[in-house]
Chain A
Amino acid sequence: MIIRVHFYAMLRMTTGVSSVEVETDGPITMRQLIDLACQKTRPQLKGDLLEGPQIKKGTLLLVDGRNVLFLDGLDTMVQGDQVIAFFPPGGGG
């Protein structure tokens, strides 16, 4: 299964791409997806998104538009037919 991860804002600048595809045998956790996305882009991506075992304050990991903080956090299962989007902390109005 192919899972596509979309990057936005500063993450686009640091990874140099707007999205990346990772191949898996089936559904995986968000934590595993981050590891695979790191391998495809840059090792520092993990540090951009996580602070130790936690998602960095203000960082948004969305699965079909839902923040994983309101699903199962980094244990949220993801699969190929979902829209995965990573955002660094953002603000405005």
Chain B
Amino acid sequence: MSYTGKMLRVDLTTGTLTTEALPMDLARQYLGGRGLATKLFCDEVDPTVDALSPDNKLIMATGPLTGTSAPTGGRYMVVTKSPLTGAIASSNSGGFFGSKLKDAGFDIIIFEGKASKPVYLKISKEGPNLVDAAVVWGQDVYETTRLLLDEVGDKNAKVACIGPAGEHLSLIASVMNDKARAAGRSGVGAVMGSKNLKAVIVSADRNKPVVADEEAFKAVVKVCQAKIKEDAVTSQGLPTYGTKVLDNIINSSGMYPTNNFQLCMFKDVGEVSGEALVEKGYLKKRKACFGCPIGCGRDVELPNGKKGEGPEYESGWSLGAACGVSDLIAISEANFMCNELGLDTISAGVTIAAAMELYEKGFLPKEDLEKGPELRFGSSEALGYYIKAMGTNQGILGKKMAQGAYRLADSYGHPELAMCVKKQELPAYDPRGVQGQGLAYATQNRGGCHVRGYLIAPEILAHPQAIDPQELESKPTWVKAFQDLTAVIDSCGLCLFSSFALGAEVYNDLINAATGSTNSVDDLMTIGDRIWNLEKLFNIKAGLTAADDTLPKRLLEEPLTEGPNKGQVHHLDQLLPPYYKLRGWDTKGIPTQEKLLALGLG
């Protein structure tokens, strides 16, 4: 049935490890990954819990297609309550950790409580056990991974861990796996740190999941592979240039946020684009996650000899144009540092961008810089210095910036300069130029995020069809459909990039053949809707309201000053009411009883 049928519960307080049966009735309703983990989390955790207390839990969850031969089936999810947003957090990552976890015989790991001293979880052929982490506590992500691989003596073992940022409870700390792959968003790394949980290492032989209908599954996989090979995005654009193929597209479209969203076009984009990464010779080879024929990852070597992965589009933007930095070497090095420290690149860059605007406008006093460089837009020196400071929690500003852009800006009396939704930093698309994406931002259950409803695809990339980025009427319908479908993709264990080539019908065929389900496409989309509403209910119980479904004031009130969208603001006031109605929510954004009953959530 493509599940292992087992989940591991780790009580860090007592050191007790228990293997439990995967609740298959819930798996049918929530698939796995993001959906099933969220359901388990909501059933077990009080939404008002302090996210950094032992009462919070953290779940690592694969999906039914993780580890199978379905293209891009290497994903897993980290679900917890976010210390950054106070909302549900579910961060997704690729690499090889997720498939290895299934090889070891577990679909899901639930961590609860808090260890009395730093530990890591080792899952090997002898079974799972907790091990003293003194040898790796304080080490960065790369060194931690190297030490643990040596310790286990299996170079094919896979490691997910936190870096110094997570240990110091930075609210923008990520969980890293396979060194440079990140469950990046919402501060999930801080939750691991709060539990004194440094890492998980999994050593296991290949143990391919058994699907329900092997022949049917093989046939659908073949269809998927053909579609991915035929599609120009998945067969050419992403493999050749990676996600940074977007820099010039988004900049030309006048929605490439620059200098903390004060501008929407970056004059030096040619210096930092995906094309530049290739033409300057920094890109050495492409890199693929488990089972991925696309291979959007980048192995980069800089002229100074430094090597690492990335930058991807989002990271290159947040550490580049968002901060006005046009030095591709400095941007790449900043990306490597974030990976080593275990910092979310989007949040780190946008936090520095906020600090730069605060400083340039005189709200952040010079004495708070201590010995650090001036926070001027364009300063690559400041970029590197403050990433290290926030990742290691050093100095006045390092400590403040480690809490993310909102808390930093709020501490200086100007929270409006934090480009955040629900206190999470926004990604690389100015919503004044793309109205649907702005609605998706505002309504994200996990705060500022672009992937849970990637409206850039139809609004800018003309994929699967072109829709006018400034048109309003159709956008609530598009946003809901994309949000629900993404919830499905996140829950089955595939990569969102597969959706450039695949549609809901193919996903449904894959899931049915793998799990033995007989869902229709409508049934599948209802599962996505159920997951979205479950997350929403958690957030409401956690204290979030309709007032949190908004965008920074700048994006609602300050018209763009240049480019094809000159004069535009985001029209959230016109988009939100029809979106709520379409969702079956009342005017305050609360799901109606009728809606909940229809989804089995009543």
Contact = CB atoms under 8 A, between A and B. Distances in A.
Contacts of B243: 91-93
A57 to B, nearest CB: 7
Interface residues of B, number: 44
A25 to B, nearest CB: 27
Given A65-B253, A66-B564, A93 B245 contact: no
Nearest to B564: A65
B182 interface: no
A87 B565 CA distance: 19
Given A57-B463, A58-B462, A60-B461, A90 B233 contact: yes
Contacts of A92: 237-238, 242-246, 296, 312-313, 497
Contacts of A13: 240
Contacts of B454: 93
B237 A10 contact: yes
A93 B451 contact: yes
Contacts of B249: 8, 60, 87, 90
B83 interface: no
A67 interface: yes
B242 A88 contact: no
Contacts of A67: 253, 460, 462, 466
B275 A58 contact: no
Interface string B479-506: 0000000000000000011001000000
Given A65-B252, A90-B249, A92-B244, A60 B462 contact: yes
Interface in A60-76: 60, 62, 64-67, 69-70
A61 to B, nearest CB: 10
Contact of B275 (A8, A56, A83): A8
A64 B565 CA distance: 10
Interface residues of A, number: 27
A57 B454 CA distance: 18
Interface string B247-274: 0110011100000000000000000001
Contacts of B427: 93
A85 interface: yes
B538 interface: no
A91 B274 contact: no
A89 B233 contact: yes
Contacts of A57: 232, 462-464
B496 A93 contact: yes
A88 B236 CA distance: 9
B218 to A, nearest CB: 27
13 contacts: A9-B275, A60-B460, A66-B564, A67-B253, A83-B252, A88-B232, A88-B236, A89-B463, A90-B237, A91-B238, A92-B246, A92-B296, A93-B243
Given A89-B463, A93-B450, 16 more contacts: A8-B248, A9-B275, A13-B240, A57-B464, A58-B462, A60-B462, A64-B564, A69-B462, A70-B468, A91-B234, A92-B238, A92-B242, A92-B245, A92-B296, A92-B313, A93-B497
